[in-house]
Protein backbone atom coordinates (compact mmCIF):
# COMPACT_ATOMS: atom_id res chain seq x y z
CA UNK A 1 0.00 0.00 0.00
CA UNK A 2 1.44 3.35 -1.02
CA UNK A 3 1.10 6.55 0.96
CA UNK A 4 -1.38 9.06 -0.40
CA UNK A 5 0.09 12.39 -1.53
CA UNK A 6 0.11 15.14 1.09
CA UNK A 7 -2.96 17.28 0.26
CA UNK A 8 -0.94 20.37 1.20
CA UNK A 9 1.58 19.67 -1.56
CA UNK A 10 0.64 20.69 -5.12
CA UNK A 11 0.89 18.00 -7.79
CA UNK A 12 2.57 18.46 -11.13
CA UNK A 13 1.61 16.84 -14.42
CA UNK A 14 3.43 13.68 -13.35
CA UNK A 15 1.36 13.46 -10.18
CA UNK A 16 4.44 14.10 -8.01
CA UNK A 17 4.75 16.92 -5.46
CA UNK A 18 6.52 20.06 -6.73
CA UNK A 19 9.00 21.68 -4.31
CA UNK A 20 8.00 19.82 -1.17
CA UNK A 21 8.71 21.40 2.17
CA UNK A 22 12.24 20.07 2.54
CA UNK A 23 13.22 21.05 -0.99
CA UNK A 24 11.76 24.52 -0.51
CA UNK A 25 13.58 25.01 2.79
CA UNK A 26 16.86 24.10 1.10
CA UNK A 27 16.11 26.50 -1.73
CA UNK A 28 15.26 29.30 0.69
CA UNK A 29 18.41 28.75 2.78
CA UNK A 30 20.61 28.69 -0.31
CA UNK A 31 19.37 32.04 -1.63
CA UNK A 32 17.98 34.00 1.30
CA UNK A 33 21.05 36.16 1.91
CA UNK A 34 21.59 37.14 -1.71
CA UNK A 35 17.87 37.90 -2.09
CA UNK A 36 18.03 40.12 0.99
CA UNK A 37 21.03 41.96 -0.46
CA UNK A 38 19.16 42.42 -3.75
CA UNK A 39 16.15 43.86 -1.90
CA UNK A 40 18.49 46.17 0.04
CA UNK A 41 20.03 47.49 -3.16
CA UNK A 42 16.57 48.13 -4.56
CA UNK A 43 15.18 49.75 -1.42
CA UNK A 44 18.20 51.30 0.35
CA UNK A 45 16.81 50.05 3.66
CA UNK A 46 17.97 47.14 5.80
CA UNK A 47 14.61 46.84 7.57
CA UNK A 48 12.60 46.94 4.36
CA UNK A 49 14.91 44.36 2.80
CA UNK A 50 14.32 41.98 5.71
CA UNK A 51 10.54 42.34 5.40
CA UNK A 52 10.59 41.96 1.62
CA UNK A 53 12.73 38.82 1.54
CA UNK A 54 10.43 37.20 4.09
CA UNK A 55 7.43 38.16 1.97
CA UNK A 56 9.21 36.86 -1.13
CA UNK A 57 9.74 33.43 0.41
CA UNK A 58 6.14 33.33 1.63
CA UNK A 59 4.85 34.22 -1.84
CA UNK A 60 7.17 31.67 -3.42
CA UNK A 61 5.89 28.92 -1.12
CA UNK A 62 2.30 29.76 -1.93
CA UNK A 63 3.03 29.92 -5.65
CA UNK A 64 5.30 26.90 -5.87
CA UNK A 65 2.86 25.15 -8.20
CA UNK A 66 3.83 27.74 -10.83
CA UNK A 67 7.44 26.55 -10.74
CA UNK A 68 7.67 23.44 -12.90
CA UNK A 69 11.38 22.81 -12.38
CA UNK A 70 12.31 23.52 -15.99
CA UNK A 71 13.73 26.97 -15.31
CA UNK A 72 16.13 28.36 -12.73
CA UNK A 73 14.77 28.29 -9.18
CA UNK A 74 17.11 31.17 -8.35
CA UNK A 75 15.74 33.22 -11.23
CA UNK A 76 12.18 32.43 -10.15
CA UNK A 77 12.92 33.75 -6.64
CA UNK A 78 14.60 36.88 -8.02
CA UNK A 79 11.54 37.54 -10.18
CA UNK A 80 9.29 37.46 -7.12
CA UNK A 81 11.70 39.56 -5.03
CA UNK A 82 12.21 42.22 -7.71
CA UNK A 83 8.52 42.66 -8.37
CA UNK A 84 7.90 42.78 -4.62
CA UNK A 85 10.40 45.63 -4.39
CA UNK A 86 8.91 47.52 -7.32
CA UNK A 87 5.45 47.26 -5.78
CA UNK A 88 6.76 48.37 -2.39
CA UNK A 89 8.49 51.40 -3.92
CA UNK A 90 5.31 52.31 -5.76
CA UNK A 91 3.34 52.15 -2.51
CA UNK A 92 5.64 54.33 -0.40
CA UNK A 93 5.81 58.13 -0.36
CA UNK A 94 9.32 58.38 -1.88
CA UNK A 95 10.92 56.18 -4.52
CA UNK A 96 14.47 56.39 -3.19
CA UNK A 97 16.56 56.77 -0.09
CA UNK A 98 19.34 59.34 -0.02
CA UNK A 99 22.82 59.71 1.39
CA UNK A 100 22.99 63.35 0.37
CA UNK A 101 20.52 65.92 -0.89
CA UNK A 102 20.80 66.45 -4.66
CA UNK A 103 22.05 69.91 -5.51
CA UNK A 104 22.95 70.86 -1.94
CA UNK A 105 26.32 72.59 -1.75
CA UNK A 106 28.87 71.50 0.87
CA UNK A 107 28.71 73.35 4.17
CA UNK A 108 31.35 75.40 5.92
CA UNK A 109 31.53 75.60 9.70
CA UNK A 110 29.09 74.27 12.24
CA UNK A 111 25.92 72.39 11.36
CA UNK A 112 22.75 74.28 12.20
CA UNK A 113 19.96 72.73 10.13
CA UNK A 114 19.16 69.91 12.54
CA UNK A 115 18.14 66.35 11.72
CA UNK A 116 15.94 66.05 8.64
CA UNK A 117 13.43 63.52 9.90
CA UNK A 118 11.22 63.90 6.84
CA UNK A 119 13.94 62.52 4.52
CA UNK A 120 14.26 58.78 3.88
CA UNK A 121 17.96 58.17 4.49
CA UNK A 122 19.98 55.35 2.97
CA UNK A 123 20.89 52.80 5.62
CA UNK A 124 24.19 50.88 5.87
CA UNK A 125 24.26 47.10 5.48
CA UNK A 126 26.05 44.86 8.04
CA UNK A 127 28.71 42.63 6.53
CA UNK A 128 27.46 39.88 8.83
CA UNK A 129 24.31 39.79 6.66
CA UNK A 130 26.17 39.62 3.35
CA UNK A 131 26.29 36.40 1.36
CA UNK A 132 29.70 34.95 0.59
CA UNK A 133 30.69 37.54 -2.01
CA UNK A 134 33.69 35.49 -3.12
CA UNK A 135 31.41 32.57 -3.96
CA UNK A 136 28.96 34.61 -6.04
CA UNK A 137 29.75 34.29 -9.72
CA UNK A 138 27.76 36.83 -11.73
CA UNK A 139 26.75 36.05 -15.28
CA UNK A 140 28.80 37.08 -18.31
CA UNK A 141 26.86 40.35 -18.71
CA UNK A 142 27.96 41.71 -15.31
CA UNK A 143 29.88 45.00 -15.26
CA UNK A 144 30.57 45.14 -11.52
CA UNK A 145 32.22 42.73 -9.14
CA UNK A 146 30.24 41.66 -6.09
CA UNK A 147 32.19 43.81 -3.62
CA UNK A 148 32.02 46.90 -5.81
CA UNK A 149 28.26 46.62 -6.05
CA UNK A 150 27.72 46.56 -2.29
CA UNK A 151 29.65 49.73 -1.43
CA UNK A 152 27.61 52.42 0.30
CA UNK A 153 28.40 54.99 -2.40
CA UNK A 154 27.30 52.60 -5.15
CA UNK A 155 23.98 51.84 -3.44
CA UNK A 156 23.49 55.60 -2.96
CA UNK A 157 24.19 56.19 -6.66
CA UNK A 158 21.68 53.64 -7.92
CA UNK A 159 19.02 55.11 -5.63
CA UNK A 160 19.01 58.10 -7.98
CA UNK A 161 17.66 55.88 -10.76
CA UNK A 162 13.94 55.38 -11.39
CA UNK A 163 12.87 52.03 -9.89
CA UNK A 164 12.57 50.11 -13.17
CA UNK A 165 15.97 51.35 -14.39
CA UNK A 166 17.41 50.44 -10.99
CA UNK A 167 16.04 46.91 -11.31
CA UNK A 168 17.31 46.50 -14.87
CA UNK A 169 20.80 47.69 -13.94
CA UNK A 170 21.00 45.40 -10.91
CA UNK A 171 19.80 42.35 -12.81
CA UNK A 172 22.02 42.93 -15.86
CA UNK A 173 25.13 44.78 -14.68
CA UNK A 174 25.40 43.36 -11.15
CA UNK A 175 23.91 39.87 -11.43
CA UNK A 176 24.93 39.44 -15.06
CA UNK A 177 21.57 38.47 -16.55
CA UNK A 178 20.99 39.07 -20.24
CA UNK A 179 18.52 41.68 -21.46
CA UNK A 180 16.31 38.85 -22.74
CA UNK A 181 16.19 37.19 -19.31
CA UNK A 182 15.56 40.53 -17.61
CA UNK A 183 12.71 41.35 -20.00
CA UNK A 184 11.09 38.03 -19.17
CA UNK A 185 11.37 38.81 -15.46
CA UNK A 186 10.25 42.43 -15.49
CA UNK A 187 7.86 42.18 -18.41
CA UNK A 188 8.16 44.20 -21.61
CA UNK A 189 10.44 43.85 -24.58
CA UNK A 190 14.17 43.31 -24.78
CA UNK A 191 14.41 46.68 -26.53
CA UNK A 192 12.75 48.40 -23.55
CA UNK A 193 15.24 46.79 -21.16
CA UNK A 194 18.18 47.85 -23.33
CA UNK A 195 16.78 51.39 -23.38
CA UNK A 196 16.38 51.42 -19.60
CA UNK A 197 19.92 50.11 -19.21
CA UNK A 198 21.32 52.78 -21.50
CA UNK A 199 19.68 55.55 -19.47
CA UNK A 200 20.70 53.97 -16.16
CA UNK A 201 24.33 53.59 -17.23
CA UNK A 202 24.44 57.19 -18.45
CA UNK A 203 23.15 58.42 -15.08
CA UNK A 204 25.57 56.23 -13.16
CA UNK A 205 28.37 57.45 -15.42
CA UNK A 206 27.91 60.93 -13.95
CA UNK A 207 29.01 59.50 -10.60
CA UNK A 208 31.61 57.10 -12.01
CA UNK A 209 33.24 58.74 -15.07
CA UNK A 210 35.64 55.79 -15.36
CA UNK A 211 32.73 53.37 -15.42
CA UNK A 212 33.14 51.79 -11.97
CA UNK A 213 33.84 52.64 -8.30
CA UNK A 214 37.41 53.68 -7.54
CA UNK A 215 37.72 51.46 -4.46
CA UNK A 216 39.60 48.20 -5.06
CA UNK A 217 37.30 45.27 -5.62
CA UNK A 218 39.08 43.27 -2.90
CA UNK A 219 39.95 44.25 0.67
CA UNK A 220 43.37 45.82 1.08
CA UNK A 221 45.72 44.70 3.84
CA UNK A 222 45.94 48.37 4.84
CA UNK A 223 42.22 48.75 5.56
CA UNK A 224 42.44 47.14 9.00
CA UNK A 225 45.34 49.41 9.99
CA UNK A 226 43.49 52.47 8.70
CA UNK A 227 40.43 51.59 10.79
CA UNK A 228 42.60 50.98 13.87
CA UNK A 229 44.29 54.38 13.50
CA UNK A 230 40.91 56.04 13.00
CA UNK A 231 39.46 54.50 16.16
CA UNK A 232 42.57 55.38 18.15
CA UNK A 233 42.23 59.02 17.08
CA UNK A 234 38.71 59.17 18.48
CA UNK A 235 39.65 57.45 21.73
CA UNK A 236 42.77 59.59 22.23
CA UNK A 237 40.90 62.85 21.59
CA UNK A 238 43.29 63.42 18.69
CA UNK A 239 41.53 65.59 16.12
CA UNK A 240 44.75 66.36 14.24
CA UNK A 241 45.54 62.66 13.99
CA UNK A 242 42.09 61.92 12.59
CA UNK A 243 42.30 64.70 10.01
CA UNK A 244 45.72 63.42 8.90
CA UNK A 245 44.02 60.19 7.81
CA UNK A 246 41.80 62.05 5.33
CA UNK A 247 42.50 62.66 1.68
CA UNK A 248 42.64 66.33 0.71
CA UNK A 249 39.36 65.91 -1.21
CA UNK A 250 37.62 63.74 1.37
CA UNK A 251 33.88 64.04 1.94
CA UNK A 252 31.94 63.82 5.19
CA UNK A 253 28.22 63.04 5.43
CA UNK A 254 26.24 62.64 8.64
CA UNK A 255 22.67 61.35 8.17
CA UNK A 256 20.12 62.44 9.30
CA UNK A 257 21.62 65.94 9.13
CA UNK A 258 21.43 67.76 5.81
CA UNK A 259 24.90 69.31 6.00
CA UNK A 260 27.89 67.66 4.39
CA UNK A 261 31.52 68.72 4.06
CA UNK A 262 34.10 68.58 1.31
CA UNK A 263 37.85 68.69 1.82
CA UNK A 264 40.13 68.06 4.76
CA UNK A 265 40.07 71.61 6.13
CA UNK A 266 36.29 71.94 5.95
CA UNK A 267 35.92 68.62 7.80
CA UNK A 268 38.43 69.77 10.42
CA UNK A 269 36.54 73.03 10.84
CA UNK A 270 33.27 71.24 11.47
CA UNK A 271 34.69 68.60 13.80
CA UNK A 272 36.37 71.31 15.87
CA UNK A 273 32.92 72.72 16.67
CA UNK A 274 31.56 69.44 18.05
CA UNK A 275 34.62 67.52 19.28
CA UNK A 276 34.28 68.76 22.87
CA UNK A 277 30.55 68.04 23.20
CA UNK A 278 31.37 64.80 25.04
CA UNK A 279 33.83 63.88 27.76
CA UNK A 280 35.29 61.01 25.77
CA UNK A 281 34.77 58.34 23.14
CA UNK A 282 35.16 54.58 22.88
CA UNK A 283 35.00 52.56 19.67
CA UNK A 284 34.16 49.03 18.53
CA UNK A 285 35.25 47.77 15.11
CA UNK A 286 32.69 46.40 12.67
CA UNK A 287 32.14 46.46 8.91
CA UNK A 288 29.42 47.70 6.62
CA UNK A 289 28.84 47.42 2.87
CA UNK A 290 32.15 45.63 2.49
CA UNK A 291 33.94 48.61 4.09
CA UNK A 292 35.62 49.25 7.45
CA UNK A 293 33.24 50.66 10.05
CA UNK A 294 33.10 51.47 13.75
CA UNK A 295 30.49 51.95 16.41
CA UNK A 296 31.37 54.98 18.52
CA UNK A 297 30.21 55.31 22.13
CA UNK A 298 30.27 58.64 23.93
CA UNK A 299 30.34 59.67 27.58
CA UNK A 300 28.70 62.93 28.50
CA UNK A 301 30.16 65.46 30.93
CA UNK A 302 27.36 64.69 33.39
CA UNK A 303 27.09 60.89 33.00
CA UNK A 304 29.87 58.32 33.29
CA UNK A 305 28.07 55.69 31.17
CA UNK A 306 29.29 54.96 27.65
CA UNK A 307 26.24 55.19 25.37
CA UNK A 308 25.85 54.45 21.63
CA UNK A 309 26.47 57.63 19.69
CA UNK A 310 27.22 57.07 16.00
CA UNK A 311 28.03 54.47 13.37
CA UNK A 312 30.99 55.37 11.13
CA UNK A 313 31.42 53.87 7.64
CA UNK A 314 34.81 54.47 6.02
CA UNK A 315 35.59 54.47 2.32
CA UNK A 316 39.34 53.84 2.06
CA UNK A 317 41.43 54.72 -0.96
CA UNK A 318 45.18 54.38 -1.31
CA UNK A 319 45.83 54.13 2.42
CA UNK A 320 43.75 57.21 3.26
CA UNK A 321 40.07 57.95 3.87
CA UNK A 322 38.22 59.14 0.78
CA UNK A 323 34.83 59.44 2.44
CA UNK A 324 33.26 59.26 5.87
CA UNK A 325 29.58 58.55 6.40
CA UNK A 326 28.70 58.99 10.05
CA UNK A 327 25.19 58.05 11.14
CA UNK A 328 24.58 60.36 14.10
CA UNK A 329 21.70 60.58 16.61
CA UNK A 330 18.91 59.83 16.45
CA UNK A 331 19.61 57.53 13.48
CA UNK A 332 23.03 56.22 14.51
CA UNK A 333 22.24 54.52 17.83
CA UNK A 334 19.22 52.79 16.28
CA UNK A 335 21.58 50.91 13.92
CA UNK A 336 23.76 49.37 16.65
CA UNK A 337 21.58 46.31 17.22
CA UNK A 338 21.56 45.41 13.51
CA UNK A 339 25.37 45.42 13.55
CA UNK A 340 25.58 43.27 16.69
CA UNK A 341 27.07 46.15 18.69
CA UNK A 342 26.44 46.14 22.46
CA UNK A 343 23.85 48.58 23.82
CA UNK A 344 26.38 50.09 26.22
**Tell me, what CATH number does 30's domain have?**
1.20.140.160
Per-residue pLDDT for 11 more than 50? no
Given pLDDT bands bounded at 50, 70 and 90, which one contains residue 14?
Answer: very low
Quick one: pLDDT at residue 19?
67
- Full domain range(s) for residue 83: 21-92+123-207
- Report yes or no on 6 lying in a domain: no
Of residues 132 and 332, more confidence is placed in 332
Query: Could you give the 3-state DSSP secondary structure of residue 311?
Result: strand
- Report yes or no on 12 lying in a domain: no
Residues 51 and 149 in one domain: yes
- Report yes or no on 97 lying in a domain: no
Phi, psi of 126 (to 5 degrees): -65, 135
Q: Give the pairing of strands 280-288 and 246-253.
A: unpaired
- Report yes or no on 114 lying in a domain: no
Q: Model-level pTM?
A: 0.89
- Report yes or no on 78 lying in a domain: yes
Residues 72 and 185 in one domain: yes
> What is 59-73 written as a DSSP string?
HHHHTGGG--SSS-H
Residues 60 and 200 in one domain: yes
Q: What CATH number corresponds to the domain at position 326? A: 3.10.450.50
Provide the number of structural domains found in the chain: 2
Q: Quick: pLDDT tens for 144-194.
A: 888 889 999 999 999 999 999 999 999 999 999 999 999 988 888 999 999
Instruction: Name the average pLDDT for the chain.
Output: 88
Amino acid sequence: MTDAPDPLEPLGRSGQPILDRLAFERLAMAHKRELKLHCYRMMGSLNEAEDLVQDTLLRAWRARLQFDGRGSARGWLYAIATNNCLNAIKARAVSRRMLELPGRAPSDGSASGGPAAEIAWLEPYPDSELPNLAAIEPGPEARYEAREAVQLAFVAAIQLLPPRQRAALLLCDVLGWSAVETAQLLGGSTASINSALQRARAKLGERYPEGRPSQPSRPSQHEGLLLERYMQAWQADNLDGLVDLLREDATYHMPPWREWYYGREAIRGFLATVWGNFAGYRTVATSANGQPAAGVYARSHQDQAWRPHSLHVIEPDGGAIASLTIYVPPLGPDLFAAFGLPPA
